[in-house]
Chains A and B, each alone.
Chain A
Amino acid sequence: MSTDKAAAISEKTKTENTIFGKSTSDFLILLITAVTMLILNIVLSIAYYRSATAPDLRWLLAFLDIAVILAFYGAFGGRVKRVLLSMKLALTMLFVILIFAILGTLIPQGETVLDTDWPQNPLYSFYTHVGLFDMYYSRWFLALLYLLGFNISFCLFDRLPTTFRRALRPRTDVKDIFVRKCPNNAVFDGVGEEGMEVTRKILAGHHFHIHSGATGSVLAEKGRWSGLASIAFHLSFLLIAIGAIITAMLGFEGTLQIPDGKTISFSKENLRIPGGKSVPSQYADLRVTNHAFKIDSTPVKEGERITGYRTSLYSSDLELTQNGESLVSKTITVNDPLRFSSSNWLLTLITSSKINFHQNSYFRDEVFGYITVLQVTYKPGKSLIYVGFGLMMIGICALYFPHRRIWFKTGEAGELLIGGRSNRSRVSFQREFDRTVSEIRLTLGKQEAR
C-alpha cells in the first residue's frame, strides 16, 4: 500500500465517527440485524420447545444461532468476513467437532442411555435438555457443523473467481518486480536470450506447459486444474450437507409392519414416522401387500454336532398397488430393497423422488404369525448427495497435484529473472524449484547474482 493511500484512509477514519473500528452506519446495520435475528431466534425457540407437535426445527434454530453470533461479532468484534475466511477457524472447527464427536461415542446416545445408570444422575434431565444423549442431532452440534459449513463456503466462494481465472486464462504477462517478488526466485546476470532459451528447454523437459506472453515474459505451469479440483472437493461437502438438509426437511423415514399375506395402507396407524412428517401426496394412497415371508437358516455346528440354527436369509414378496392397480412387485431382502417412483426416470433422477422399502427385521406374533418390519424412506436429497460423493472422489484425487507456476523473463538490465509459486505443498515445490535452478545454473555454467 502506498503511503499517501494509507494516509488518506487514516484521515478518513479520523474525521468520521467510529464505533468498534467501523463507521456508525455499518455498526447500526449490523446491530439491528443481530438484534432482529436474536428476537426471531428466541421467539422460534420458545414456540418450538413449548409445542409438542411442531416439526423438527433444530436445524433452523442452529442456523439462527450461528447467524446471531456472527452478527454480534460483526458489530462489536472484528470483521466477520476475515474470520470466516481464515484457515485457523477451519482447523479449530475440525478440532472442536472432533472432540465432541469423540465425546459422543463415550456417552451412550439415544435409547441406549435408558439401559445405563445415567437416568439416576441428579442432573439427568438437565443433560437430556442440552442434548448430551442426542448429541449429534443437538442444536449446538448442528451449529458447529454450520459454522464449519459457512467457513468452507466462504472460502470457496471467495476463491472461486480467482481459481477460475487462473485455470482458464494463464497469467503470462508479468512485470519484473512481480517475478522478483515471487516466494521462490533466482536472477542470472547477463545471460540474455540464451538464458531464456535454456530455461524454456529445461522447464519443457520437466513437463511444464509453456505459455509465451506478449511482453516477452514466459509462464511455465503444471497442475493447472488443481485449483478447480480443490473447489470440487470442498463443494462436495456443501452438496452433501444441502442434500442431507433437504432429506431431513422434505423426506421421511418410517417403519411399517405387515403380517405375512396381508395388505395395508399408509395410514397414520400403520406407518410410524417420527418428527411429525407426512408422506408426500403422490404416495399417500399407496397400498403394500406382503405376499409371502420366507426364512432360510443354516445349522450351526460344533464339530459334527448340530447345536442350533441361525438365520441366513429372510425375504418378503412385496407388491405396491394404487387404486387397485398393481404398480410393482419384488422380493426384498436386507441388501436388496424395493424402490419405486411414480415419475419418469429423468424426473426421478433429478428430484430423487423414489420411495424405498427396506427389509428391516421381522418378528413372530401369536395372532398374525410372521410380521415383516419394513423401513420406508423417502430421500429427496439423494441425487445431490451422490453428486457430492462423485465430486469428492474427483476432487480428492486431483488434490495432490498442486498448481505450480514459474515465470521467467529478461529484465530491464538484460538479466534473466526466474520466479515461481505454488498454491499448495510449498515445501516440495521449493525443492523442485531449487533443482531446476541448479540445472539452469549448470547448463549456463554461471552462478546467479544477488
Chain B
Amino acid sequence: MDIVQLEQILFIAAVITYLVSGGIYIWYLITRSEKAVGLATMLLIMAILAHTLAMGLRWYSSGHAPMSDLYESLSLFGWGIILFFLIAQRFYPVQAAGALVVPTAFLVTSVALVFYKGPEALAPALQSYWLWIHVTIAMLSYGLFALSFGAGFFYIVQEYLLKKNYRNVLYTFVLLLAVLGLVLGLWAGSELADPAKVMDPISQKVGNEYATSDYLKIVGGGLAGLLLGLGLGFVSGKGASKPGFTNRLPSLDVLDEVSYRGIAFGFPLLTIGIITGAIWADQAWGRWWGWDPKETWSLITWLYYGGYLHTRLTMGWRGRHSAVIAVIGLIMVLITYLGVNLFISGLHSYATAA
C-alpha cells in the first residue's frame, strides 16, 4: 500500500466516523443520553486524528502545504470545524450543538471526497510561502466566524426558549438549516456541473458553457440541500422546542460573549488574511487589488463584520440583534469561501474542481 492509498483510506475512515458521530449527536438531542455524548466525542477525536494523519501524509507526498485544490481546502475546513467544536465543547456545555456542527463537517468532508484528486505539483502562481500563511489565516478566521455563528444561533434559540416562545425556536431551526442547505446545495450542484470549456477565439480566454444538464444539476443540488435542511431543521427544531432544552444550552451571557469573541478574534485574522493576500498578489501579479470576485467578497465580509463591531463597540448593541448579524455573517463567509465559484471564475479559481 503506498502513501496515497493510505491517505485516502484514512480520510474515508474519518469521513465515515464523522457521519456516525454526527448521528450519535442527533440521537443525543432526542434521547439526552450522556453516554452517547461520550461515545460521539471519542469517535470524533479518533476521526480527527485519522484526518490529521491523512493531511500530514498528503503534505509529505505532494511536497507542499495541503491547501491548493478544492479537496485539500475543504478537507482543511472540515478539520477546522471539528477542531474548534472539540475545543468549544471542552470549555462550554455545547454538546447540543454537535447535532448541527458535526453533520456539517461530514457534509463538507464528503463533498471534499467527491472532488478527490491525487497529490499534484503546485501551479506556478501558488509556489510561494504566502500560500500557507494566507490560507491558514483565512481558514482560522472562517472557523472563528463559524463559532460565532453557532453561538449566535443558540443565543436566538435560548432567548426564545427563555421567553417561552417555542414555536419560534422551531422556526429558527427550520429557517436557518434550510438557508444553509440551499447555499451548500447550490454550491455543490455547481461544482458537480461540468460545463464545457470553450475558448474565445478573439480574447483567447477560456470560458464556461453551461448545458441544460448542468443547470439541472445546480437546481437539483439546491433543492436537495433545501429539502435536507428543512428536514433536519424540523427534526432538530422539534427536539429543541421544549422547556427542558434551556438546561442544555449555556446562559445568554455566555452565548453573547462567545459570539462576540468569535468575531473579535476572527476580524483581525480576516484583516491580516486580506493584507497578506494583497501583499502576495503584489508579488505574483504586480497588483494589490483587482476586484476579483473572491477579493471583493472578502472585502464585503470584512466590511460586514466591521459594521458588526461598530454597532457593538460604539453603539452598544448586544443580544439578539448582534446574534442575528453574526448568524447572517456566516452566509457571507460561505459565499466568500465557496459561493464565489458560482458566479465567475476569477483568479482564485485554481481552488476549484475544474
Contacts and interface: CB of A to CB of B under 8 A. Distances in A.
A403 B286 CA distance: 40
B91 interface: no
B288 interface: yes
Contacts of A376: 286
Contact of A253 (B120, B287, B300, B310): B287
Contacts of A301: 118
Contact of A94 (B207, B264, B275, B306): B306
Interface stretch (A35-43, A162-170, A171-179, A424-432): A424-432
B243 interface: no
B203 A385 contact: no
Interface in A292-324: 298, 300-301, 310-314
B124 A426 contact: no
Interface in A350-386: 356, 358, 360, 375-377, 385
Given A87-B315, A108-B344, A393-B271, A98 B303 contact: yes
A311 B124 contact: yes
B203 A396 contact: no
B49 to A, nearest CB: 29
A393 B272 contact: yes
A366 to B, nearest CB: 16
A385 B288 contact: yes
Interface in B294-315: 296-297, 299-300, 303-304, 306-307, 309-315
Contacts of B120: 298, 300, 310
A286 B285 CA distance: 21
Q: Which size class do B's interface residues fall under?
A: 35 or more
Q: Which size class do A's interface residues fall under?
A: 35 or more
Interface string B128-158: 1010000000000000000000000000000
A363 B254 CA distance: 59
Nearest to A301: B118
Interface stretch (A21-29, A111-119, A199-207, A261-269): A111-119
A87 B127 CA distance: 43
B110 to A, nearest CB: 23
Given A87-B315, A333-B124, A396 B310 contact: no
B124 A314 contact: yes
A397 B315 CA distance: 20
B283 A112 contact: no
A90 B293 CA distance: 24
A402 B309 CA distance: 13
A105 interface: yes
Contacts of A425: 312-313, 316
B267 interface: yes
B231 interface: no
B121 interface: yes
22 contacts: A87-B310, A94-B303, A95-B307, A98-B303, A101-B300, A104-B296, A111-B203, A112-B205, A112-B207, A298-B120, A298-B121, A301-B118, A311-B124, A312-B121, A333-B124, A335-B124, A335-B125, A377-B287, A392-B275, A399-B309, A424-B313, A427-B316
Interface of A: 87, 90-91, 94-95, 97-98, 101-102, 104-106, 108-109, 111-112, 114-115, 136-137, 244, 253, 298, 300-301, 310-314, 333-337, 356, 358, 360, 375-377, 385, 389, 392-393, 396-397, 399-400, 402, 424-427
Given A94-B310, A101-B300, A356-B286, 18 more contacts: A87-B310, A87-B315, A94-B303, A104-B296, A105-B293, A109-B344, A112-B207, A114-B200, A301-B118, A311-B124, A313-B124, A335-B125, A335-B283, A337-B286, A377-B286, A385-B288, A392-B271, A427-B318
10 pairs of A and B residues whose beta carbons are closest in the complex? A335-B128, A358-B286, A136-B291, A377-B286, A375-B286, A334-B124, A312-B121, A424-B313, A298-B121, A105-B293
